[in-house]
Structure 1
Amino acid sequence: MEQVKVKGGKHTEVIHEFEICIERPKPSAVDAVIALLKKILSYCVCVMTCGCVAPQRSPNGINGEEYGTLLLDDERVAVENLLTYLETDNCSDPVVSHQHLRALSILTYSDNDDLQRSAALCFAEFSEKMCGPLTADMAVPLVQLLTSTDVQVQRVASHAVSKFSLASFVKNKEVLASCDVFTPLSRLLLSSDPEVLCNACGCIAALATADCTQQQLNMDQGIKAVLSLLKSPHVHVQHNAAGAILNLTRSHCNRIKLVSQGALPVLVEMLHSPDEEIQYYCIAALSNVAVHEKHRAMMVAIGNHDVILQLISLLYSRQEKVKCQTCFAVRNLASDGIQQVLFVRYGILEALHKVIKASSYSAHPSAPHMLAAALGCLRNLSILKANELSIVSEDFLPDMCSILSCGNNSEAQRHAAGTIRNIAVGDHLQAVLESDCLEALCTCLLDVRTKSSAHADLSAALAVLADEDAVKCKLLSLWNGRMFGRLVSLASLSIIKEVQYNSAGIVGQLALHGIPDDLRETNKLGIVLYIDKFLKSKDPNFLHIGLWTLRQLLKDPEFVTAFKEHHIDHVIWRLLAASHAPAIQDLAQAVQDSLLEVQQKHMSLTP
C-alpha cells in the first residue's frame, strides 16, 4: 500500500489536500533478475559448447524452444555486466554508472523478451533502493519498457515508474513527463491484464500530483479508458482508476477534458458503489470539478438531482473520511443559489446538524477537520436568504456560539462567525442577538488562543451587528471596555488589512454613539495613530473609513486637541492636493472645514 498526495484544495473555490492509497503488487526482488540472467548465460554457454555443458533448467526456465537465436555479443556482455553488478555491487543505495546504464539500454532495446524482463526487474530494484533522483538517462529506457508487448515486462516496468513517481524527488515526475511517459501509459490502459491496469492507473495518479507535469500531462486518449476502468470487475483496478481520475481533477485543463469525455455521469453513478474507498475518491473528484460554475450546473442536471440526494445520503456514512469529503463536495457544489435551495429542500440541514454535534464533542483525531468541513458547508448554504429561516429553525445558532467559545479550532471558528454574519445580514438579526452570538464573537476575539486567521471573519460579523444601537451600547460596556480597546488595537496593529478595516469600521460606528470618557482617555492615542496611518494609505477604502471616522471624532473637543497635536491638518491638506475620487475629496474637504471651524471658535474665545 503506497500513498499519493493529492492537493486540492478551496471551498467554495478550493481543491483540498488529502491522500489516496494506491495498491499494486510488489515485483520480484533482485534475486529474480539474477536467476534470470544466470539462466540466459547458462543457455549461451550450452549453445557455444555445442551442448557439452548442459544448461540449468526449471519449469519456468529458458529452453531451446524459447531461444531461436544466440544472444548478440553486446547483449551477452550486458548480461555479464549487470549480473556482476547485482551480485557484488548491489547495496541499499545503488549507484548506477554509465556502464550499467549502457547495459540496461542494450537489454531494454533487445528483441528478446527475457532480456527486457531482466532490464525491467533491474529498474524495479533501483526504484526500491535509490536515494537519489531519477536521471533522464535512466528514464528513457524505463519508459521504453512500457511499450513492450510482453505482459510481464509491462507489469514490472509500470510498477517501477510508479515507485519513482512516488519518491520524494519532485524531479522524478518532471523527468518522466519529459520522456512522454503518458503516451505508453495511455496504451497500457487498454490492457486485459488487471495488474498492468492497476499499475498504469497508479502511475497516472502519482504523476498527476506534481504541478511541473500538468502542462505535459497529455491524457486526451487515456481519459476515456480510465473512466471505463471504474466499471472493472477487479476492485483494485477500480480503486486505482478512481485515484487517477481524482488526481487528474487537480488541473483545470484536465477537469474540462474529463467533463467533455463524460466523467460526470460516471462519477455520480459510482457514488452508489458499495466500496467506501471508491466512494471517497469519486466524491473528492466531484468536489474538485465543482469549483467551476458550469460544471456544477451540469452535475445537478444528471438524473433527478441524483448527486444532491446521494451526497446527503453519504453524510450518514459510517466512514468518517467519506462524511468529511462529502461536506467538502457539498460546500463546493452549494456555491450557487439553485444548488443551495435544493440541498435544503432535500433535507441536508438535519444531516449536517448531526455531523456538527457529533464532531463538536468527539475526541477522534479527525473530528476538528470534520467539524470545519461541515461548518464550511453550512456557511455556504447560509449565503442564500431563502435558507435563513430553515437554518435558524434548525437551531444552529447555539452551536455556533459553543464552537466560537471552544478556542482550539480556528477553521471552525471562521465558518461559525461567517454563518452568524450571513444570518445577521438578513431578516433574523434578532434571533442572532437572542442566541448570545454577540457575546460569543467578542469572547472569541478577546481570547488569546484565537488565531489571527479567524479575526477577519469575527470582525466582519461584529461589524454587521454594530449597526444596531443596542449592540453599540453593549460593545462599549463589555468587560469594562476591554472589547473597545481590542478593536482599537486590531485597527492599529493587525497585520491583516481586512481585520484593520473591519475594526476601524466598528470603532467609527461606536463613535456615532459616543465614546465614554474613560475609554476615550485610554484609547485616544491608539485611535489617532491608526487614523493617521489610514489617511496615508493608497487604498481608497482605508482613506474613506479614516476620513469618515475622523469626521465623527472631531465632534469631541478632546479628540480635536489630540488630532491637532498630531498635525492631522497637514495630512488633510496633502489629501486635498492629491487626485482622489470625488467621495474622498468631499470627505477630506468636510474634515478640513470642521478643523477650520474649531480653530475659528478657539480664536473667538481667546481674549
Structure 2
Amino acid sequence: MGMLVPLLDLIRSGDSSAQSHSCACVCLLAPQRSNREAVMLEGVKPLLALAKSYDPREQQVASWALLHLTHSDWSRRLLGDAGGFPVLVLLLQGSDSEVQFYSCSALCNISSARELHRKLLSIGSHFLLKSLLTLASSSVQKKSMQACRCLQTLSQNDLIQEQLMELDCVLPLQPLLKTSSAEWRESAVTLLSALTSHTPNKAVLVSEGLLEEVGQLLLHPTCSSVIITHSCRIITDLSSCSEGQQAVMEARCLSGLLGALLSPSLTDDTLIHLTSCLQNLMTQHPLQSELSVMITSEHVSRLVKLSGRSQNPQLSYNSAAVISRLEMTGETLQLLKPHYVAMLEYLSVLLQNKDLKFQQLGLVTISNLKTDGDFSSLLSGGEVEDQLRTVHDQTEETRRLLQTIQPPSPVHPLQPPHKH
C-alpha cells in the first residue's frame, strides 16, 4: 500500500514522537519475508542517520530499531555493508544506558555470525573490545551481563581471545565474581571459562589468581548449576598446566567441588560436569592424594549412589571412576566397606556393558578392592564373580582369534648382490 515511504520520511523528521512510532512500525514490518528486502534496503540508512543524532531519545529509538533488524543472517550482512557496525560500536560509548544496552544487544546478535568478526575487529585499535570490557564493569546489571555475553560469543575467535588477554580482560571481570547477584556471577564465569579453553591463556590466568576466585565462587551458599558447570571447566582446563595443580589445591577448589557434590538439587547434566572434573583431577598424582584424604563418608555415599544410576551411563561411569581412583588406604577402605553390596550391584552393570571402557573400569575397581578380605568374601561365589569368568573367557577367545589372524611379517625386497 506504499506505507513504507511515508514511514521512512517520518524517521527523518525532527518530531521525536513520530520518529519513535515510525521506527516501531518499520520493525514490525521487517520480519515479514515479503517486506524484508524493501525495509532493509530503504530503511537502514535513515535509521543509521537517526542513531548518529545527539538527541538521546532519537538514539534510543534508532538503536532499538537496529537491534530488531539483527535477527537474521541476511539483515546482519546488509547492515554491515551499509556501515552499521561502526555506528553501533560508537553507541556503546554513549551516556544513555538504554542506548548502550540496545547497541550491545545488537552487536551480540551480529557476533554470533563468525564470518562477520573480521569486519567487527576492523573498527580501529581494539575499540569494540575495549568498549565491551568497559560495559562489563558497569554498575547497571543488564548492560554488564549483555557485554559479557557479547564477549563470550566473540571469544570463539582465537585472535579475539589473544586481544582480550592483551587488554587484561580478567581485571574488570574478577569483581563481578564477588557480586551478590547470581546472574552477574554466571555471566562473568561463563566468559572466563571460554578464555580458559584457549591453551596459551592458561598460565596467565593461573598467575592472575583466577582459581582463587573460582574456589570462593564454589563455596558461595547460592552456587547455581551454571556456576558449577563453568567452574568445573575452568578447573579442568587450568589444572592441566604445570602451575595449575598447586594453585587448585591452594585455592580451595577441591573443597568447593566436594561441597557442590553434596548439593541435593543438581541436575544430571551438572553432575556429569562435576564428576568429570573430579575424575580428571584424580588422574593427576598430587591432586589424587589430596582428594583421597579429603573424601568423607558423605562423599562416598553420594558417589556410590550416582554410580548406580544405570539410566545415565555417563554419570554412572564418571562417579565409579572417581571411586576407582581413590588411594586404597585403610581409611578409604573403611569408608567404602558399608557400601560393598551396593558397589557390587553397579560393578555387575559395568561388567555387562558392551563398551570395553565400562568393563575395564569394573575390573580396575575389583582389582583395587580385592585387597580387602571382606570385599573378597562378598565377591566369592556371587553374580559378579560369574561375570568376571565370562569376561575372562571372552578375552581369552579374543586373544586366540587375534593370534590366528596375525598379520604376516613384512617381506623385505631382495637386495642386489654386492659388487666386489
Smaller-chain TM-score bracket:
0.7 to 0.9
Q: In structure 2, give the amino acid aligned to 1:566.
A: E
- How big is the shift at 1:353? 1.5
Separation in 1, partners of 2:356, 2:246 = 30
Distance change (3 Å), C-alpha of 1:565 and 1:224: farther
Q: In structure 2, give the amino acid aligned to 1:439.
A: S
- How big is the shift at 1:466? 0.7
Distance change (3 Å), C-alpha of 1:473 and 1:393: closer
Separation in 2, partners of 1:528, 1:472 = 24
Instruction: Give the aligned partner of residue 383 of structure 1.
Output: 197
1:412 and 2:227 matched: yes
Separation in 1, partners of 2:252, 2:397 = 38
Instruction: Give the aligned partner of residue 163 of structure 1.
Output: none
Alignment of 1:334-345 (within 5 A): 334-345=155-166
Deviation readout 1:491-548 (Å, 9 max, x if unpaired) = 323876653343233234338889943344333343344344456668xxxx243112
- How big is the shift at 1:189? 2.9
Separation in 2, partners of 1:476, 1:286 = 47
Q: Secondary structure at the match of 2:326?
A: helix
Separation in 2, partners of 1:409, 1:247 = 34
Deviation readout 1:183-233 (Å, 9 max, x if unpaired) = x4576234333434322322455677xxxx576672442344433432245
Distance change (3 Å), C-alpha of 1:233 and 1:440: closer
Instruction: Give the aligned partner of residue 600 of structure 1.
Output: none
Q: 1:274 aligns with which of 95, 98, 105?
A: 95
- How big is the shift at 1:552? 1.0
**Contact 1:536/1:571, CA 8 A, preserved across alignment:** no
**Contact 1:532/1:568, CA 8 A, preserved across alignment:** no
Q: Secondary structure at the match of 1:344?
A: helix
Q: 2:145 aligns with which of 305, 315, 324?
A: 324
Greater alpha carbon shift after TM alignment, 338-347 vs 478-487: 478-487
Distance change (3 Å), C-alpha of 1:240 and 1:587: farther
Q: In structure 1, give the amino acid aligned to 2:218.
A: L
Q: In structure 2, give the amino acid aligned to 1:454.
A: T
Q: 2:117 aligns with which of 296, 300, 303?
A: 296
Separation in 1, partners of 2:189, 2:135 = 16
1:589 and 2:395 matched: yes
Deviation readout 1:272-321 (Å, 9 max, x if unpaired) = 22222111111121122222322233322321121112222223334332
TM-score, length of structure 2 as denominator length: 0.78
Alignment of 1:3-14 (within 5 A): none
Instruction: Give the aligned partner of residue 206 of structure 2.
Output: 392
1:457 and 2:278 matched: no
Q: 2:47 aligns with which of 204, 221, 226?
A: 226
Distance change (3 Å), C-alpha of 1:507 and 1:256: farther
Larger radius of gyration: 1
1:565 and 2:382 matched: yes
Instruction: Give the aligned partner of residue 308 of structure 1.
Output: 129
Separation in 1, partners of 2:169, 2:395 = 53
Distance change (3 Å), C-alpha of 1:336 and 1:520: same
**Contact 2:245/2:287, CA 8 A, preserved across alignment:** no
Distance change (3 Å), C-alpha of 1:569 and 1:196: farther
Q: In structure 2, give the amino acid aligned to 1:188.
A: L
Separation in 1, partners of 2:319, 2:66 = 45
Q: Secondary structure at the match of 1:408?
A: coil
Distance change (3 Å), C-alpha of 1:553 and 1:392: closer
Q: Secondary structure at the match of 1:499?
A: helix
Alignment of 1:202-213 (within 5 A): 202-205=24-27
Distance change (3 Å), C-alpha of 1:568 and 1:268: farther
**Contact 2:317/2:358, CA 8 A, preserved across alignment:** no
Separation in 2, partners of 1:369, 1:513 = 42
Count of residue correspondences: 386
Deviation readout 1:322-381 (Å, 9 max, x if unpaired) = 222211211111223221221121122111122323x1xx3xxxx221111111111112
Separation in 2, partners of 1:549, 1:591 = 20
Deviation readout 1:371-426 (Å, 9 max, x if unpaired) = 11111111112222222233222223222122111232312333223222221122
Q: Secondary structure at the match of 2:52?
A: coil
Distance change (3 Å), C-alpha of 1:470 and 1:348: closer
Deviation readout 1:13-37 (Å, 9 max, x if unpaired) = xxxxxxxxxxxxxxxxxxxxxxxxx
Distance change (3 Å), C-alpha of 1:204 and 1:572: farther
Instruction: Give the aligned partner of residue 357 of structure 2.
Output: 545
**Contact 2:261/2:271, CA 8 A, preserved across alignment:** yes
Instruction: Give the aligned partner of residue 486 of structure 1.
Output: 302
Separation in 2, partners of 1:266, 1:506 = 53
Q: In structure 2, give the amino acid aligned to 1:334.
A: S
Q: In structure 2, give the amino acid aligned to 1:551.
A: L
Q: In structure 2, give the amino acid aligned to 1:199.
A: H
Separation in 1, partners of 2:234, 2:348 = 33
Q: In structure 2, give the amino acid aligned to 1:549.
A: L
Instruction: Give the aligned partner of residue 7 of structure 2.
Output: 188
Separation in 1, partners of 2:59, 2:172 = 29
**Contact 2:353/2:359, CA 8 A, preserved across alignment:** no
- How big is the shift at 1:253? 4.2
TM-score, length of structure 1 as denominator length: 0.56
- How big is the shift at 1:567? 5.6
Separation in 1, partners of 2:108, 2:7 = 28
1:372 and 2:201 matched: no
Separation in 2, partners of 1:326, 1:286 = 9
Greater alpha carbon shift after TM alignment, 270-279 vs 476-485: 476-485
Separation in 1, partners of 2:89, 2:227 = 28
Alignment of 1:79-478 (within 5 A): 147=2, 184-185=3-4, 188-191=7-10, 192-193=12-13, 194=15, 195-205=17-27, 218=36, 219-221=39-41, 222-357=43-178, 359=179, 362=180, 367-410=181-224, 411-427=226-242, 428-448=244-264, 450=266, 454-478=270-294
Q: Secondary structure at the match of 1:189?
A: helix
Separation in 2, partners of 1:495, 1:214 = 45
Q: In structure 2, give the amino acid aligned to 1:379.
A: S
**Contact 1:569/1:592, CA 8 A, preserved across alignment:** no
Distance change (3 Å), C-alpha of 1:451 and 1:294: same
**Contact 1:553/1:559, CA 8 A, preserved across alignment:** no
Distance change (3 Å), C-alpha of 1:520 and 1:354: closer
**Contact 1:535/1:571, CA 8 A, preserved across alignment:** yes
Greater alpha carbon shift after TM alignment, 319-328 vs 519-528: 519-528
Distance change (3 Å), C-alpha of 1:280 and 1:517: same
**Contact 2:130/2:167, CA 8 A, preserved across alignment:** yes
Q: In structure 1, give the amino acid aligned to 2:239.
A: A
